[in-house]
Amino acid sequence: MAIRRLPTDDESLRRYAAELWLPYHRGLAAEVDAHALADWPDERFVERNVEFTRSRLEDEGNRGWVAVSGADDAEVDPATAPVADPALELTGLLLTSVDECPDPFDRPDRLVVGEIYVTEPHRGTGLADRLMDRAAADAREQGCGEIRLDVDVDNERARAFYAKHGFEPYREQLTRDVE
């Protein structure tokens, strides 16, 4: 298993969107009403996500990571084979960005974990811990002194995972419908 930067070529981004991003968001939508998805065919989600992710990753400070593994008898190395190689299994994702501190404020720059996901067969294997370690390394590499993320209040599993990794409540977001 290897955690690698997400390449921005079409084939890699399509595979990432179809095998990681879309299942992650379908699962999240099933658990949390606020994450409901449009009634689109899968291919439309994939194509829209390819362009969105590519443009995001082109911005300085934004990074995408994928966890990949190969079958025990596979002749490909997960650390070096192209992400689009069908002999690889995509098993997790991590998207990060830098939230730079504006001049008048006295706080460190923060690395924001935008998305983290591990496919069902790989949950409980320590992969999510490795992805969080990758986020911490990313923060150090980009000169950030803190890591921040958002979690839905009713996502108890995720909240417990983040608490285990030392995250504490920082801010509370409030929403309401517009009348």
The label of the residue with tokens 């095998």 reads: 19
pLDDT at residue number 149: 96
- Please compute, for residue 131, the number of CA atoms within 13 A of its CA located in the half-sphere on the CB side: 28
Quick one: pLDDT at residue 115?
A: 95
Q: Is the pLDDT of residue 121 over 80?
A: yes
User: Per-residue pLDDT for 172 more than 90?
Assistant: no
Give the pLDDT confidence of 128-162 residue by residue, as tens digits: 999 999 999 999 999 999 999 999 888 888 999 99
| Reported pTM | 0.91
Query: How high is the pLDDT of residue 28?
Result: 87
Give the model's pLDDT for residue 33: 78
